[in-house]
Structure 1
Protein backbone atom coordinates (compact mmCIF):
# COMPACT_ATOMS: atom_id res chain seq x y z
CA UNK A 1 0.00 0.00 0.00
CA UNK A 2 1.61 3.29 -1.18
CA UNK A 3 1.83 6.25 1.07
CA UNK A 4 0.07 9.01 -0.87
CA UNK A 5 -0.67 12.33 0.72
CA UNK A 6 -4.37 13.06 0.99
CA UNK A 7 -5.21 16.47 -0.39
CA UNK A 8 -8.09 18.42 1.12
CA UNK A 9 -10.48 19.72 -1.58
CA UNK A 10 -10.59 23.49 -1.77
CA UNK A 11 -13.47 25.19 0.05
CA UNK A 12 -16.10 26.81 -2.09
CA UNK A 13 -17.90 29.98 -1.17
CA UNK A 14 -21.57 29.06 -1.48
CA UNK A 15 -22.73 32.62 -0.95
CA UNK A 16 -20.71 33.78 -3.91
CA UNK A 17 -22.33 31.26 -6.25
CA UNK A 18 -25.94 32.14 -5.28
CA UNK A 19 -27.47 34.92 -7.38
CA UNK A 20 -28.78 37.92 -5.53
CA UNK A 21 -32.56 38.22 -5.34
CA UNK A 22 -33.88 40.69 -7.86
CA UNK A 23 -35.50 43.75 -6.29
CA UNK A 24 -39.28 43.80 -6.39
CA UNK A 25 -40.83 46.18 -8.90
CA UNK A 26 -42.59 49.23 -7.51
CA UNK A 27 -46.38 48.90 -7.15
CA UNK A 28 -48.29 50.22 -10.14
CA UNK A 29 -50.02 53.58 -9.83
CA UNK A 30 -53.69 53.33 -8.81
CA UNK A 31 -54.73 55.86 -11.47
CA UNK A 32 -53.12 53.67 -14.12
CA UNK A 33 -54.92 50.61 -12.78
CA UNK A 34 -58.23 52.48 -12.61
CA UNK A 35 -57.82 53.37 -16.27
CA UNK A 36 -57.51 49.66 -17.14
CA UNK A 37 -60.63 48.65 -15.23
CA UNK A 38 -64.04 48.00 -16.75
CA UNK A 39 -67.51 47.92 -15.22
CA UNK A 40 -68.60 44.44 -14.14
CA UNK A 41 -71.93 44.90 -12.35
CA UNK A 42 -74.40 47.47 -11.04
CA UNK A 43 -76.72 47.14 -8.06
CA UNK A 44 -79.74 49.21 -7.02
CA UNK A 45 -79.51 50.19 -3.35
CA UNK A 46 -81.92 51.89 -0.96
CA UNK A 47 -80.63 54.03 1.92
CA UNK A 48 -82.96 55.18 4.67
CA UNK A 49 -82.53 58.68 6.07
CA UNK A 50 -84.91 58.88 9.07
CA UNK A 51 -87.23 56.50 7.28
CA UNK A 52 -87.08 58.39 3.97
CA UNK A 53 -85.61 56.24 1.17
CA UNK A 54 -82.79 57.43 -1.07
CA UNK A 55 -82.22 55.25 -4.13
CA UNK A 56 -78.79 54.96 -5.70
CA UNK A 57 -76.73 52.67 -7.87
CA UNK A 58 -73.45 50.98 -7.01
CA UNK A 59 -71.07 50.10 -9.83
CA UNK A 60 -68.33 47.50 -9.40
CA UNK A 61 -65.33 47.73 -11.73
CA UNK A 62 -62.22 45.60 -11.92
CA UNK A 63 -59.07 45.29 -13.97
CA UNK A 64 -55.73 43.53 -13.95
CA UNK A 65 -52.24 43.58 -15.37
CA UNK A 66 -49.32 41.17 -15.22
CA UNK A 67 -48.38 42.64 -11.84
CA UNK A 68 -51.61 43.88 -10.29
CA UNK A 69 -55.33 43.48 -9.79
CA UNK A 70 -57.76 46.31 -9.15
CA UNK A 71 -61.24 46.60 -7.61
CA UNK A 72 -63.48 49.66 -7.30
CA UNK A 73 -67.00 50.25 -6.03
CA UNK A 74 -68.64 53.59 -6.87
CA UNK A 75 -71.96 55.18 -5.95
CA UNK A 76 -74.27 57.56 -7.77
CA UNK A 77 -77.62 58.74 -6.41
CA UNK A 78 -80.83 58.54 -8.38
CA UNK A 79 -83.72 60.01 -6.37
CA UNK A 80 -85.06 60.77 -2.92
CA UNK A 81 -88.64 60.28 -1.80
CA UNK A 82 -90.34 63.56 -0.90
CA UNK A 83 -93.86 62.83 0.30
CA UNK A 84 -95.81 61.32 -2.58
CA UNK A 85 -93.31 62.31 -5.26
CA UNK A 86 -89.73 61.52 -6.26
CA UNK A 87 -87.10 64.23 -6.22
CA UNK A 88 -84.16 63.63 -8.55
CA UNK A 89 -80.90 64.54 -6.84
CA UNK A 90 -78.28 66.74 -8.47
CA UNK A 91 -74.66 67.70 -7.76
CA UNK A 92 -71.60 65.52 -7.23
CA UNK A 93 -73.59 62.76 -5.52
CA UNK A 94 -75.49 62.18 -8.78
CA UNK A 95 -72.38 61.71 -10.94
CA UNK A 96 -69.81 58.94 -11.36
CA UNK A 97 -66.59 60.41 -9.96
CA UNK A 98 -62.97 59.22 -9.97
CA UNK A 99 -62.07 59.77 -6.30
CA UNK A 100 -65.34 60.80 -4.60
CA UNK A 101 -68.02 58.34 -3.51
CA UNK A 102 -65.80 55.39 -4.41
CA UNK A 103 -63.63 52.86 -2.60
CA UNK A 104 -60.90 51.00 -4.45
CA UNK A 105 -58.33 48.30 -3.79
CA UNK A 106 -54.99 47.76 -5.56
CA UNK A 107 -53.37 44.32 -5.30
CA UNK A 108 -49.61 44.01 -5.92
CA UNK A 109 -48.65 40.40 -6.62
CA UNK A 110 -44.81 40.61 -6.41
CA UNK A 111 -44.99 41.89 -2.82
CA UNK A 112 -48.28 40.08 -2.07
CA UNK A 113 -49.75 43.24 -0.62
CA UNK A 114 -53.07 45.09 -0.79
CA UNK A 115 -53.70 48.82 -0.45
CA UNK A 116 -57.03 50.60 -0.04
CA UNK A 117 -57.67 53.85 -1.85
CA UNK A 118 -58.06 56.44 -3.16
CA UNK A 119 -54.83 57.84 -1.76
CA UNK A 120 -56.74 60.82 -0.40
CA UNK A 121 -58.99 58.47 1.58
CA UNK A 122 -62.49 57.11 1.05
CA UNK A 123 -65.07 59.93 1.29
CA UNK A 124 -68.78 60.33 0.60
CA UNK A 125 -70.82 63.33 -0.47
CA UNK A 126 -72.89 64.95 2.33
CA UNK A 127 -76.17 63.75 0.79
CA UNK A 128 -75.25 60.09 1.35
CA UNK A 129 -72.78 60.33 4.26
CA UNK A 130 -73.54 58.85 7.65
CA UNK A 131 -76.23 56.47 6.34
CA UNK A 132 -74.32 53.18 6.54
CA UNK A 133 -72.93 53.23 3.01
CA UNK A 134 -69.28 53.13 4.16
CA UNK A 135 -69.77 49.77 5.84
CA UNK A 136 -71.41 48.43 2.70
CA UNK A 137 -68.51 49.61 0.51
CA UNK A 138 -65.81 48.08 2.71
CA UNK A 139 -67.76 44.81 2.93
CA UNK A 140 -67.88 44.50 -0.86
CA UNK A 141 -64.14 45.13 -1.15
CA UNK A 142 -63.28 42.75 1.71
CA UNK A 143 -65.42 39.96 0.25
CA UNK A 144 -63.70 40.39 -3.11
CA UNK A 145 -60.24 40.24 -1.49
CA UNK A 146 -60.92 37.27 0.80
CA UNK A 147 -62.13 35.17 -2.12
CA UNK A 148 -58.89 35.76 -4.03
CA UNK A 149 -55.96 36.81 -1.83
CA UNK A 150 -56.62 35.77 1.80
CA UNK A 151 -52.90 35.58 2.69
CA UNK A 152 -51.88 38.96 1.27
CA UNK A 153 -50.84 41.76 3.64
CA UNK A 154 -52.92 44.95 3.88
CA UNK A 155 -50.60 47.96 3.68
CA UNK A 156 -51.29 51.07 5.78
CA UNK A 157 -53.74 53.39 4.00
CA UNK A 158 -54.73 56.94 4.89
CA UNK A 159 -57.72 57.07 7.21
CA UNK A 160 -60.75 58.59 5.48
CA UNK A 161 -61.89 61.94 6.80
CA UNK A 162 -64.79 61.62 9.25
CA UNK A 163 -68.15 62.01 7.53
CA UNK A 164 -68.97 64.88 9.89
CA UNK A 165 -67.08 67.21 12.21
CA UNK A 166 -66.44 66.55 15.86
CA UNK A 167 -65.33 63.80 18.18
CA UNK A 168 -68.49 61.73 17.69
CA UNK A 169 -67.92 61.48 13.93
CA UNK A 170 -64.24 60.57 14.44
CA UNK A 171 -65.17 57.89 16.99
CA UNK A 172 -67.80 56.49 14.63
CA UNK A 173 -65.26 56.27 11.78
CA UNK A 174 -62.68 54.51 13.92
CA UNK A 175 -65.17 52.04 15.40
CA UNK A 176 -66.57 51.28 11.95
CA UNK A 177 -63.13 50.38 10.59
CA UNK A 178 -62.29 48.44 13.75
CA UNK A 179 -65.50 46.44 13.25
CA UNK A 180 -64.08 45.34 9.88
CA UNK A 181 -60.97 44.09 11.70
CA UNK A 182 -58.50 46.84 10.78
CA UNK A 183 -55.63 47.88 13.04
CA UNK A 184 -54.41 51.48 13.32
CA UNK A 185 -51.24 53.52 13.51
CA UNK A 186 -51.74 57.12 14.65
CA UNK A 187 -50.05 60.41 13.84
CA UNK A 188 -51.49 62.16 16.91
CA UNK A 189 -52.82 61.35 20.34
CA UNK A 190 -56.34 62.48 19.40
CA UNK A 191 -56.62 59.62 16.88
CA UNK A 192 -57.81 61.92 14.13
CA UNK A 193 -55.03 61.34 11.57
CA UNK A 194 -53.35 58.04 10.85
CA UNK A 195 -53.52 54.88 8.80
CA UNK A 196 -55.38 51.57 8.90
CA UNK A 197 -53.89 48.18 7.98
CA UNK A 198 -54.01 44.42 8.66
CA UNK A 199 -51.49 41.60 8.81
CA UNK A 200 -53.54 39.31 6.52
CA UNK A 201 -56.62 39.82 4.36
CA UNK A 202 -58.28 36.73 5.83
CA UNK A 203 -58.41 38.49 9.22
CA UNK A 204 -60.73 41.21 7.90
CA UNK A 205 -64.46 41.10 8.59
CA UNK A 206 -67.27 41.98 6.20
CA UNK A 207 -70.80 43.01 7.11
CA UNK A 208 -73.02 46.09 7.06
CA UNK A 209 -76.21 47.42 8.64
CA UNK A 210 -78.89 45.96 6.39
CA UNK A 211 -81.54 48.05 8.16
CA UNK A 212 -79.89 51.17 6.72
CA UNK A 213 -78.59 49.81 3.41
CA UNK A 214 -80.73 47.40 1.42
CA UNK A 215 -79.88 45.76 -1.89
CA UNK A 216 -82.88 45.67 -4.20
CA UNK A 217 -82.84 42.58 -6.39
CA UNK A 218 -83.95 42.66 -9.99
CA UNK A 219 -86.68 40.10 -9.29
CA UNK A 220 -88.03 42.23 -6.44
CA UNK A 221 -87.92 45.31 -8.64
CA UNK A 222 -89.75 43.51 -11.45
CA UNK A 223 -92.28 42.20 -8.93
CA UNK A 224 -92.90 45.73 -7.65
CA UNK A 225 -93.29 47.02 -11.20
CA UNK A 226 -95.69 44.17 -11.97
CA UNK A 227 -97.80 44.99 -8.90
CA UNK A 228 -97.82 48.66 -9.85
CA UNK A 229 -98.92 47.74 -13.38
CA UNK A 230 -101.72 45.58 -11.98
CA UNK A 231 -102.81 48.34 -9.61
CA UNK A 232 -102.66 50.85 -12.45
CA UNK A 233 -104.76 48.59 -14.70
CA UNK A 234 -107.27 48.07 -11.90
CA UNK A 235 -107.51 51.82 -11.29
CA UNK A 236 -107.90 52.40 -15.02
CA UNK A 237 -110.72 49.85 -15.10
CA UNK A 238 -112.43 51.51 -12.14
CA UNK A 239 -111.98 54.91 -13.75
CA UNK A 240 -113.48 53.61 -16.99
CA UNK A 241 -116.43 52.20 -15.01
CA UNK A 242 -116.95 55.53 -13.25
CA UNK A 243 -116.71 57.38 -16.55
CA UNK A 244 -119.31 55.00 -18.03
CA UNK A 245 -121.61 55.58 -15.04
CA UNK A 246 -121.07 59.31 -15.35
CA UNK A 247 -121.95 59.19 -19.05
CA UNK A 248 -125.08 57.13 -18.28
CA UNK A 249 -126.11 59.63 -15.58
CA UNK A 250 -125.54 62.54 -17.93
CA UNK A 251 -127.64 60.82 -20.59
CA UNK A 252 -130.40 60.11 -18.06
CA UNK A 253 -130.29 63.69 -16.79
CA UNK A 254 -130.43 65.01 -20.34
CA UNK A 255 -133.46 62.83 -21.14
CA UNK A 256 -135.10 63.84 -17.87
CA UNK A 257 -134.44 67.48 -18.66
CA UNK A 258 -135.98 67.11 -22.13
CA UNK A 259 -138.99 65.32 -20.63
CA UNK A 260 -139.41 68.03 -17.99
CA UNK A 261 -139.23 70.73 -20.66
CA UNK A 262 -141.83 68.90 -22.75
CA UNK A 263 -144.14 68.45 -19.77
CA UNK A 264 -143.66 72.07 -18.79
CA UNK A 265 -144.54 73.16 -22.33
CA UNK A 266 -147.66 71.01 -22.39
CA UNK A 267 -148.72 72.26 -18.98
CA UNK A 268 -148.27 75.88 -20.06
CA UNK A 269 -150.19 75.21 -23.27
CA UNK A 270 -153.09 73.65 -21.34
CA UNK A 271 -153.17 76.51 -18.82
CA UNK A 272 -153.20 79.12 -21.57
CA UNK A 273 -156.10 77.46 -23.40
CA UNK A 274 -157.93 77.01 -20.11
CA UNK A 275 -157.44 80.69 -19.32
CA UNK A 276 -158.61 81.76 -22.78
CA UNK A 277 -161.73 79.58 -22.42
CA UNK A 278 -162.49 81.06 -19.04
CA UNK A 279 -162.26 84.56 -20.49
CA UNK A 280 -164.67 83.60 -23.30
CA UNK A 281 -162.31 83.97 -26.17
CA UNK A 282 -163.63 80.79 -27.69
Structure 2
Protein backbone atom coordinates (compact mmCIF):
# COMPACT_ATOMS: atom_id res chain seq x y z
CA UNK A 1 0.00 0.00 0.00
CA UNK A 2 1.28 3.44 -0.95
CA UNK A 3 1.01 5.68 2.11
CA UNK A 4 1.55 8.75 -0.10
CA UNK A 5 4.11 10.31 2.21
CA UNK A 6 6.47 11.21 -0.63
CA UNK A 7 7.69 14.81 -0.16
CA UNK A 8 5.56 15.34 2.95
CA UNK A 9 7.44 17.79 5.19
CA UNK A 10 7.85 16.04 8.52
CA UNK A 11 9.26 17.37 11.79
CA UNK A 12 10.50 14.61 14.09
CA UNK A 13 11.59 15.38 17.65
CA UNK A 14 13.93 13.05 19.50
CA UNK A 15 15.23 11.32 16.36
CA UNK A 16 18.68 10.33 17.56
CA UNK A 17 18.22 6.80 18.86
CA UNK A 18 15.84 3.96 19.66
CA UNK A 19 12.29 4.60 18.53
CA UNK A 20 13.30 8.01 17.22
CA UNK A 21 15.86 6.54 14.86
CA UNK A 22 13.48 3.83 13.68
CA UNK A 23 10.70 6.34 13.01
CA UNK A 24 13.07 8.70 11.21
CA UNK A 25 14.35 5.99 8.88
CA UNK A 26 10.82 4.71 8.24
CA UNK A 27 9.74 8.16 7.05
CA UNK A 28 12.94 8.48 5.02
CA UNK A 29 12.12 5.24 3.19
CA UNK A 30 8.68 6.65 2.38
CA UNK A 31 10.31 9.68 0.75
CA UNK A 32 9.30 12.30 3.31
CA UNK A 33 11.26 15.52 3.68
CA UNK A 34 12.67 15.52 7.19
CA UNK A 35 13.40 18.13 9.83
CA UNK A 36 15.11 16.42 12.77
CA UNK A 37 14.97 18.39 16.00
CA UNK A 38 16.72 18.01 19.34
CA UNK A 39 19.14 19.65 21.73
CA UNK A 40 22.20 17.62 20.72
CA UNK A 41 22.96 17.88 17.00
CA UNK A 42 26.03 15.66 17.39
CA UNK A 43 23.74 12.83 18.52
CA UNK A 44 21.36 13.46 15.61
CA UNK A 45 24.11 13.53 12.95
CA UNK A 46 24.41 9.74 12.45
CA UNK A 47 20.69 9.23 11.80
CA UNK A 48 20.63 12.34 9.63
CA UNK A 49 23.35 10.76 7.49
CA UNK A 50 21.43 7.47 7.38
CA UNK A 51 18.26 9.24 6.26
CA UNK A 52 20.13 11.06 3.50
CA UNK A 53 21.70 7.76 2.50
CA UNK A 54 18.17 6.45 1.91
CA UNK A 55 17.56 9.33 -0.47
CA UNK A 56 15.65 11.60 1.90
CA UNK A 57 15.99 15.36 1.84
CA UNK A 58 16.77 16.06 5.49
CA UNK A 59 18.06 18.78 7.79
CA UNK A 60 18.64 19.00 11.53
CA UNK A 61 17.81 21.91 13.82
CA UNK A 62 18.93 22.46 17.40
CA UNK A 63 15.92 22.95 19.64
CA UNK A 64 15.18 22.72 23.36
CA UNK A 65 11.55 21.60 23.19
CA UNK A 66 10.75 22.95 26.64
CA UNK A 67 11.41 26.45 25.27
CA UNK A 68 8.40 28.04 23.61
CA UNK A 69 10.64 30.47 21.72
CA UNK A 70 12.88 27.73 20.35
CA UNK A 71 9.95 25.62 19.16
CA UNK A 72 8.53 28.67 17.36
CA UNK A 73 11.94 29.09 15.71
CA UNK A 74 11.87 25.41 14.76
CA UNK A 75 8.57 25.81 12.92
CA UNK A 76 9.83 28.94 11.18
CA UNK A 77 13.05 27.22 10.10
CA UNK A 78 11.06 24.32 8.70
CA UNK A 79 8.90 26.67 6.63
CA UNK A 80 11.96 28.57 5.42
CA UNK A 81 13.59 25.30 4.32
CA UNK A 82 10.60 23.50 2.79
CA UNK A 83 7.74 25.98 2.51
CA UNK A 84 5.22 24.09 4.66
CA UNK A 85 4.71 21.65 7.55
CA UNK A 86 2.68 18.52 6.83
CA UNK A 87 3.48 16.21 9.73
CA UNK A 88 4.76 16.52 13.30
CA UNK A 89 5.94 13.40 15.13
CA UNK A 90 6.73 14.03 18.80
CA UNK A 91 9.03 11.29 20.09
CA UNK A 92 11.35 13.20 22.41
CA UNK A 93 10.76 12.37 26.04
CA UNK A 94 12.19 10.80 29.14
CA UNK A 95 11.49 7.95 31.53
CA UNK A 96 11.68 9.78 34.85
CA UNK A 97 12.50 7.97 38.11
CA UNK A 98 12.19 4.18 37.92
CA UNK A 99 11.30 2.01 40.91
CA UNK A 100 10.33 4.94 43.13
CA UNK A 101 6.95 5.27 44.78
CA UNK A 102 5.09 8.53 44.40
CA UNK A 103 6.09 9.61 47.90
CA UNK A 104 9.75 8.88 47.21
CA UNK A 105 9.69 10.92 43.98
CA UNK A 106 11.08 14.40 44.52
CA UNK A 107 9.31 17.53 43.29
CA UNK A 108 12.25 18.24 40.97
CA UNK A 109 12.04 14.76 39.43
CA UNK A 110 8.32 15.18 38.90
CA UNK A 111 8.68 18.64 37.37
CA UNK A 112 11.46 17.55 35.03
CA UNK A 113 9.57 14.65 33.43
CA UNK A 114 6.28 16.54 33.18
CA UNK A 115 8.06 19.45 31.51
CA UNK A 116 9.74 17.19 28.97
CA UNK A 117 6.91 14.77 28.20
CA UNK A 118 4.03 17.26 28.29
CA UNK A 119 5.26 20.80 27.79
CA UNK A 120 7.65 19.80 24.99
CA UNK A 121 4.76 18.34 22.98
CA UNK A 122 2.50 21.28 23.81
CA UNK A 123 5.15 23.69 22.55
CA UNK A 124 5.75 21.93 19.25
CA UNK A 125 2.04 21.43 18.52
CA UNK A 126 1.35 25.07 19.31
CA UNK A 127 4.19 26.09 17.00
CA UNK A 128 3.10 24.08 13.94
CA UNK A 129 -0.68 24.50 14.13
CA UNK A 130 -0.93 28.02 12.63
CA UNK A 131 0.71 26.77 9.44
CA UNK A 132 -1.38 23.59 9.34
CA UNK A 133 -4.56 25.62 9.90
CA UNK A 134 -3.69 27.91 7.00
CA UNK A 135 -3.02 24.84 4.82
CA UNK A 136 -6.24 23.18 6.03
CA UNK A 137 -4.25 19.97 6.46
CA UNK A 138 -1.85 18.34 8.89
CA UNK A 139 -1.02 15.23 10.88
CA UNK A 140 0.28 15.27 14.45
CA UNK A 141 1.46 12.04 16.08
CA UNK A 142 2.51 12.07 19.73
CA UNK A 143 4.37 9.08 21.13
CA UNK A 144 2.98 8.42 24.59
CA UNK A 145 3.05 5.14 26.48
CA UNK A 146 0.78 2.47 27.87
CA UNK A 147 1.64 3.53 31.43
CA UNK A 148 -0.39 6.61 30.55
CA UNK A 149 -3.38 4.34 29.94
CA UNK A 150 -3.26 1.98 32.93
CA UNK A 151 -0.82 3.49 35.39
CA UNK A 152 2.17 1.72 36.89
CA UNK A 153 3.51 1.35 40.42
CA UNK A 154 7.04 2.68 40.68
CA UNK A 155 6.55 4.92 37.63
CA UNK A 156 4.14 7.54 38.96
CA UNK A 157 5.84 10.60 37.47
CA UNK A 158 6.25 9.03 34.03
CA UNK A 159 2.69 7.70 34.11
CA UNK A 160 1.32 11.10 35.07
CA UNK A 161 3.19 12.79 32.24
CA UNK A 162 1.84 10.35 29.65
CA UNK A 163 -1.72 10.64 30.98
CA UNK A 164 -1.30 14.39 30.58
CA UNK A 165 -0.09 13.98 27.01
CA UNK A 166 -3.27 12.08 26.20
CA UNK A 167 -5.33 15.03 27.41
CA UNK A 168 -3.25 17.45 25.37
CA UNK A 169 -3.69 15.28 22.28
CA UNK A 170 -7.44 14.83 22.64
CA UNK A 171 -8.09 18.52 23.26
CA UNK A 172 -5.97 19.57 20.29
CA UNK A 173 -7.76 16.94 18.16
CA UNK A 174 -11.11 18.57 18.96
CA UNK A 175 -9.81 22.07 18.34
CA UNK A 176 -7.88 21.31 15.14
CA UNK A 177 -10.32 18.83 13.62
CA UNK A 178 -12.42 21.48 11.80
CA UNK A 179 -9.25 22.46 9.90
CA UNK A 180 -8.66 18.91 8.58
CA UNK A 181 -5.89 18.22 11.09
CA UNK A 182 -5.58 14.85 12.81
CA UNK A 183 -3.99 14.56 16.26
CA UNK A 184 -3.33 11.08 17.67
CA UNK A 185 -1.18 9.20 20.18
CA UNK A 186 0.88 6.07 19.66
CA UNK A 187 1.25 4.29 23.02
CA UNK A 188 4.16 1.83 23.02
CA UNK A 189 4.42 -0.80 25.69
CA UNK A 190 7.82 -2.12 26.64
CA UNK A 191 10.08 -1.67 23.62
CA UNK A 192 13.22 -3.76 23.50
CA UNK A 193 16.28 -1.55 23.49
CA UNK A 194 18.95 0.00 25.72
CA UNK A 195 16.53 1.88 28.01
CA UNK A 196 14.39 -1.21 28.56
CA UNK A 197 17.36 -3.50 29.15
CA UNK A 198 19.62 -1.19 31.14
CA UNK A 199 16.99 0.58 33.28
CA UNK A 200 13.62 -1.15 33.45
CA UNK A 201 14.70 -4.79 33.29
CA UNK A 202 17.87 -4.17 35.28
CA UNK A 203 15.80 -2.60 38.06
CA UNK A 204 13.44 -5.61 38.16
CA UNK A 205 16.39 -8.02 38.16
CA UNK A 206 17.93 -6.26 41.18
CA UNK A 207 14.66 -6.15 43.11
CA UNK A 208 13.79 -9.82 42.52
CA UNK A 209 17.32 -11.25 42.51
CA UNK A 210 16.94 -12.70 39.01
CA UNK A 211 18.96 -12.42 35.82
CA UNK A 212 18.40 -9.73 33.22
CA UNK A 213 17.09 -12.30 30.74
CA UNK A 214 14.62 -13.62 33.31
CA UNK A 215 13.39 -10.07 33.98
CA UNK A 216 12.85 -9.47 30.25
CA UNK A 217 10.86 -12.71 29.95
CA UNK A 218 8.68 -11.70 32.90
CA UNK A 219 7.79 -8.48 31.14
CA UNK A 220 6.95 -10.34 27.94
CA UNK A 221 4.55 -12.70 29.71
CA UNK A 222 2.36 -9.71 30.64
CA UNK A 223 1.36 -9.34 27.00
CA UNK A 224 -1.20 -11.38 25.05
CA UNK A 225 1.30 -12.01 22.25
CA UNK A 226 4.04 -12.97 24.75
CA UNK A 227 6.62 -10.76 23.08
CA UNK A 228 8.07 -7.29 23.49
CA UNK A 229 7.53 -4.58 20.91
CA UNK A 230 10.37 -3.49 18.64
CA UNK A 231 11.25 -0.02 17.41
CA UNK A 232 9.90 -0.84 13.96
CA UNK A 233 6.47 -1.68 15.41
CA UNK A 234 6.23 1.86 16.76
CA UNK A 235 7.53 3.31 13.48
CA UNK A 236 4.85 1.52 11.46
CA UNK A 237 2.12 2.87 13.75
CA UNK A 238 3.48 6.40 13.30
CA UNK A 239 3.49 6.00 9.52
CA UNK A 240 -0.12 4.82 9.60
CA UNK A 241 -1.35 7.76 11.69
CA UNK A 242 0.68 10.26 9.63
CA UNK A 243 -0.84 9.08 6.36
CA UNK A 244 -4.25 9.60 4.78
CA UNK A 245 -4.91 5.89 5.21
CA UNK A 246 -5.98 6.98 8.71
CA UNK A 247 -7.82 10.11 7.52
CA UNK A 248 -10.90 9.41 9.64
CA UNK A 249 -9.00 8.67 12.86
CA UNK A 250 -8.27 11.42 15.36
CA UNK A 251 -7.98 11.76 19.13
CA UNK A 252 -7.16 8.09 19.63
CA UNK A 253 -4.57 6.25 21.72
CA UNK A 254 -3.13 3.39 19.67
CA UNK A 255 -1.43 0.85 21.96
CA UNK A 256 1.54 -0.89 20.37
CA UNK A 257 2.18 -3.35 23.15
CA UNK A 258 1.33 -6.90 22.07
CA UNK A 259 -1.93 -6.76 24.01
CA UNK A 260 -1.62 -5.25 27.49
CA UNK A 261 -3.26 -1.86 27.94
CA UNK A 262 -6.45 -2.67 26.04
CA UNK A 263 -6.96 -6.24 27.31
TM-score category of the 2 structures, normalised to the smaller one: under 0.3
Which protein has greater RCO, CA pairs closer than 8 Å, 6+ apart?
Answer: 2
Which structure: greater strand fraction? Answer: 1
Normalising by the residue count of structure 2, what TM-score does the alignment of the two structures yield? 0.28
Structure with bigger helix share is 2
